[in-house]
Amino acid sequence: MSQKFIPLSVPNLKGKELEYVTHAIETEWVSTGGSYVTDFEEKTAEYVKAKGAVSVQNGTSGLHLALQICGVTREDEVIVPTLTFIAAVNPVKYIGAEPIFMDCDDSLCMDADKLNEFCEAQCNFIDGKLINNTTKKHIKALVVVHVFGNMANMEKIMETALKFNLKVIEDATEALGTYYTDGPYANRFAGTIGTIGVYSYNGNKIITTGGGGMMVSNDEELLKKAKHLATQAKSDELYYTHDEIGYNYRMTNVQAAMGLAQLEQLETFIQTKADNFKLYKEMTEGIEGLSILDFEPNIRSNHWFYGLYVDDKYPIDIDKMISYLGSKKVQCRPIWGLISDQKPYEGSQTYKIEKAKNYLKHVVNIPCSSNLTVEDVQYVVECLKNPEA
C-alpha cells in the first residue's frame, strides 16, 4: 500500500458547515449582511469572553483596522516581533508608520524583558509619550503575536505598555482558544488582554472560513469604530454620507455560516491537537537531537502548530530534514524568515535580535491538522527515527 500524503495543516470540515452554508445560499443572504455574520460575532465574543467582536475579511485587514483605531498614523512607530508571519507587520506600513523589530524569547513570542529594556534605555517618556531616541518619533503601539498558539508573556508586556502608554494589538490569529489558567490574567483568552485582538480564519488556522478574520475587544467604542471603518465609513445608510476614508473589509454571510459551524467544533479540535502533541512528545523522547517545543505552563494552549527543535546532535540539518520528510510524503516547514531581514524592511530599526536567529535555524513545524490520526503521528515519528541524508 502506498503511503498517503500527510499535510502540515489542513481544514477539517466535518461539522455543520455544509448545512449552514447551504442555508445561507438558499435564503440568498450571501453578502456582508445576514444573521450568520451577527451570530458568528456574538458566539465568538461569548467564547473568548470579550465584550464584542467585529468580523472582517481576514486577519490582515483586522490588524490594519486595529492599528488605525488605536490612533497609529504615518508619524508614528510601532514595536513588532521579527519572528512571525509578515502579515503581522505589513499593516504598519499600510498606514505609513514605521516598525521597530523586537527579538523573541523561548516561547517564540516577543521577548517581554527586551521590550521593557528597549523602552527604558532607548526611549524617553515625555508628556505621556514614548519617544524613540534614535528617530525622535512617537512609539504609539505594539503588536504582540501569540506564535503557534502559545501565549506571549502578557503579564510583563502589559506592565510595560501601561507604564509607557502603549496601545497593545494582540495578533491572536494563531491562538484562538488559548487562555491563561493562572496568574493575574487567569481565564483571559489570547486576544482579549490588550487593547484589541485579531483572529484569522485562513485555511491553515485552527478553524477556517476559507478566508476571514475577527476583531475582539472589551472596549465597545473601539469596536464601533472598527465596524464603521470596515463598512466604508458610511455614517448614513440612506443618503450615503461618509465621514472618513473607510474600507470594504466585512466578512460575508457565507463565510460566517462556515465559521459558526467551525466554532462549534473548536474545543474538539483543540482536544485532538493536544492529544497528538502529547503523543508526538512521548514518541520522540529519546531520539537524539530532537525535542518538541513546549507551550507555556500557565496556559491552556490551543496547540495550533507543533515546533520540533532540531539540534546539532541530529544527523541532518532542518533543510535536509524537510526535504527528506517531503520524500516520505510528510509535509513540514521551517519557521518564517525574520521579517527584519526581508527586502521591504531593510533599514528598519531592530533591537538585539539574537534568539530569533537561532530558532529560525533549528525549528521545523510538523503535521498538526485536527484530523491527524494516531497512525499518522506514528508514521511521522518513524520517519524521524530513521533520517536519510
Nine-digit cell at 164?
509607557
Contact window for ligand PLP (CB under 6 A) among 58-66, 187-195, 233-241, 259-267: 58-66
Please report how close the Cβ of residue 88 comes to ligand PLP at its closest, in angstroms. Answer: 4
Burial 326-352 (b: 16+ CB within 10 A, else e): eebebbbebbbebbbeeeebeebbbbe
Residue 87 is a binding residue for ligand PLP (CB under 6 A): yes
Contact 186, 247 (CB under 8 A): no
Contact 111, 103 (CB under 8 A): yes
Which of 64/188 has CB closer to ligand PLP? Answer: 64
Please report how close the Cβ of residue 149 comes to ligand PLP at its closest, in angstroms. Answer: 10
Q: How many chain residues interact with ligand PLP (CB under 6 A)?
A: 14
Residue 206 is a binding residue for ligand PLP (CB under 6 A): no
Of the candidate residues 59, 99, 194, 367, the single one contacting ligand PLP (CB under 6 A): 59
Residue 153: CB atoms within 10 Å: 19
Dist CA 260 CA 238 (whole Å): 30
Q: Which residues contact 39 (CB under 8 A, 6 or more apart)?
A: 256, 260
Q: Which residues contact 280 (CB under 8 A, 6 or more apart)?
A: 292, 306, 366, 377, 380, 381
Which of 202/350 has CB closer to ligand PLP? Answer: 202
Q: Which of 137, 167, 205, 227 is catalytic?
A: 205
Q: Which residues ranging from 135 to 154 are in contact with ligand PLP (CB under 6 A)? A: 145
Q: Which residues contact 343 (CB under 8 A, 6 or more apart)?
A: none
Burial classification of residue 162, based on how many CB atoms lie within 10 Å of its CB (0-12 exposed, 13-18 middle, 19 or more buried) = exposed
Residue 255 is a binding residue for ligand PLP (CB under 6 A): no
Contact window for ligand PLP (CB under 6 A) among 104-112, 170-178, 185-193, 281-289: 170-178
Helix (H, G, I), strand (E, B) or coil at 189: strand
Which of 44/284 has CB closer to ligand PLP? Answer: 44
Of the candidate residues 9, 173, 348, 369, the single one contacting ligand PLP (CB under 6 A): 173
| CA 342-345-348 angle, 5° bins | 135
Residue 213 is a binding residue for ligand PLP (CB under 6 A): yes
Burial 82-93 (b: 16+ CB within 10 A, else e): bbbbebbbbbbe
Max Cα separation, the chain? 70
Of the candidate residues 12, 60, 255, 262, the single one contacting ligand PLP (CB under 6 A): 60
Q: Which residues ranging from 88 to 107 are in contact with ligand PLP (CB under 6 A)? A: 88
Can 156 be counted among the known catalytic residues? no
Please report how close the Cβ of residue 106 comes to ligand PLP at its closest, in angstroms. Answer: 18
Residue 171 is a binding residue for ligand PLP (CB under 6 A): yes
Please report how close the Cβ of residue 210 comes to ligand PLP at its closest, in angstroms. Answer: 10
Residue 226 is a binding residue for ligand PLP (CB under 6 A): no
Please report how close the Cβ of residue 205 comes to ligand PLP at its closest, in angstroms. Answer: 6
Which residue type, as a one-letter code, is found at position 52? G
Which of 345/379 has CB closer to ligand PLP? Answer: 345
Contact window for ligand PLP (CB under 6 A) among 54-62, 187-195, 233-241, 362-370: 54-62
Q: Cell 467551525 appears where?
A: 262
Q: Which residue is nearest to ligand PLP (CB)?
A: 59
Dist CA 89 CA 349 (whole Å): 13
Of the candidate residues 9, 12, 58, 365, the single one contacting ligand PLP (CB under 6 A): 58
Burial classification of residue 26, based on how many CB atoms lie within 10 Å of its CB (0-12 exposed, 13-18 middle, 19 or more buried) = exposed
Please report how close the Cβ of residue 89 comes to ligand PLP at its closest, in angstroms. Answer: 9
Please report how close the Cβ of residue 158 comes to ligand PLP at its closest, in angstroms. Answer: 19
Catalytic site positions: 205
Using CB under 6 A, list all residues that contact ligand PLP: 58-60, 84-85, 87-88, 145, 171, 173-174, 200, 202, 213
